[in-house]
Amino acid sequence: MSKSEAPAPTASSRPPAGPVPPTRRWAVLAVLSTSLLLCGIDLTVLHVAVPSMTRDLHPSGVQLLWIVDVYSLTLASLLVTCGTLGDRIGRKRMVLSGFALFGLASAAAAFSTTTPQLIAARVALGIGAAMIMASTVAVIRVVFTDDRERAVAIGIWTAAHSVGATVGPLVGGLVTQRWGWGAVFLVNVPIVLVILVVGARVIPESKNSSPRHWDVAGVALSVAGLAGVVYALKRAGENFSVPWTVAVTAAAGAFLLYLFVRRQRRLTEPLLDFSLFSSRRFSMATVCVISCFGSYVALLFFLTQWLQQTGGYSPLHAGLALMPLAAANAVGAATAPWLSARWGNRWSLTGSLAAFAAALFLLAPVGDSGAYGSLIATMLVAGYGAGVVMTLGADSIMSAAAPERSGEAAAIQETSFELGAGLGVAVLGTALTAAYRLTLPSFTGLTPHDRAVAQQSFGGAEDVADGLDADTARRILTAARHAYDQGFTAVAAIAAGGLTLTAVLAAFVLRPRKAGRASP
């Protein structure tokens, strides 16, 4: 994931008294980069721990999706408002408060004994991460006043999030295999304690002397609307016959989001300035980021589940198996500027989206997690294409906005990444749940309760099989593995179709305007 440099401090920003010494500047950067590393790790660290967590907490398929993506959805919905609040109360105070909440929520998640407790802890983690991420870039702008130093600092800071998200599955595999799934959250606690002590000493306080209005009503509309739509989407995947309450919830959520957009367009100081989307380049780049990053994070999640649940991989083995995907993603991000200089953003984005889509189309027919060798080439292509799109998409968002509006563009850019991650898992997870339930046969000889549990998820089928004789258990697990394989195939095909559509849109929307039609 790449984020371009944010603007220099404005006159309304209150810097710390006197210049910050060089040693302290880089100490501040170390603290803030570690914070982004933690936020990135928490985006993906739980992926490989899900099977062992499922055996302990027994979540339903829908509850499992909430556990995984409620973190990124909460983070996405609160990034902008936490940035505005940090401008008002002080960025140092906001960052340190976010760290404190992040540490407490990590401990709560580690010791959760029920699914609702873990979901609530993940929500708190998302709030803490939003408080951290929203103010760190503003602190960097205040501390690093030299343009060249600030560019280097922003590059290191943004790379930390990418590294965290990339190594998250490996860290999760190492920790889960040795200490259990709860330990993936406990590793945050000592790091947070160190950051709180060091950060309190080295991070300078800064505020905006003329902060923007904090739109509480807008925050409520956006959070409630997004929650309603996602809730309805997940419930629809759980039951083929959609209850009227789910339809009403979906409609209400969509209406609240409409009211949010309408309100933002009318405010003089909106949370999100939707007038930026009048630029087709800005809008298309945002769509590319949401589609690509959503598919990439979902691919990371479902690959780890697929390899462990149907392929019998250990958590550590599954984390290692994803390294080709992560390495190719890093190479794609590094070579994206060269591709853009050689072919231009339009064809670089279109070609990379198409390559990512083609890799998923090739992955869909595999349908066998035991055939790992056949997955490597597709993972390399998918990772490389995703790395290019995420980098060029983020840069396009920033460069499409006027320099004086780069702060607002950066907020939308960060939100698009986190929103893409949450929606990717929600949409594709709903598809997998529906395909699994549709493919799983109606077992004879099971009680209605056991049949319903087996249809919830692969973990539920394992729970049911544990209490049965060997032949029946083998038959149920074989059918469940086949159903999960088919679900993964459906996920890969749907994601490939969405990326193909995005590639076609990019090719048409990003074409140069004809002479005489250029906007002033």
Full 3-state SS string of 109-155: HHCCCCHHHHHHHHHHHHHHHHHHHHHHHHHHHHHCCCHHHHHHHHH
Residue 514 pLDDT grade (very low, low, confident, very high; cuts 50, 70, 90): low
Q: Do 467 and 344 reside in the same domain of the chain?
A: yes
CA 157 to chain centre: 17
- Which residues neighbour 287 within 8 Å (Cβ) at sequence distance 6 or greater? 502, 505
> Is residue 343 within 8 Å of 351, Cβ to Cβ?
yes
Residues 6+ apart with CB under 8 A from 446: 454, 464
- Closest by CA to 77, choosing from 123, 113, 37, 144, is 123
Q: Tell me how far the alpha carbon of residue 163 is from its chain's centroid.
A: 14
Supply the pLDDT for residue 79.
83
Q: What is the mean pLDDT of the chain?
A: 82
**What are the CA-CA distances from residue 426 to residues 294, 318, 484 (Å)?**
9, 22, 17
Are residue 174 and residue 225 in the same domain, yes or no?
A: no
Residues 314, 373, single domain; the answer is yes
Is 356 or 85 the better-scoring residue by pLDDT?
A: 356
- Contact predicate 120/109, CB 8 Å: no
Shared-domain flag, residues 44 and 182: yes
What is residue 513's DSSP assignment? P
| Domain that residue 251 falls in | 216-266
Instruction: Read off the CATH number of the domain in which 355 is found.
Output: 1.20.1250.20
Helices 280-309, 147-179: inter-axial angle, 10-degree rounding: 20
Domain annotation covers residue 271: no
* 289 shares its domain with 368: yes
Greatest mean pLDDT among 69-83, 187-201, 415-429 lies in 187-201
pLDDT at residue 485 is higher than 60: yes
Dist CA 230 CA 422 (whole Å): 9
Number of domains in the chain: 3
Cα–Cα distance, 400 to 284 (Å, whole number): 10
Out of 228-242, 422-436, 502-516, least confident range: 228-242
Summarize pLDDT for 411-451 with one digit per residue, the tens: 787 788 888 888 888 888 888 888 888 888 877 777 777 78
499 in the same domain as 392 = yes
Q: Choose between 221 and 407: higher pLDDT.
A: 221
Same domain, 297 and 380: yes
pTM of the model: 0.81
The verdict on residue 14 lying in a domain is: no
227 and 197 share a domain?
no
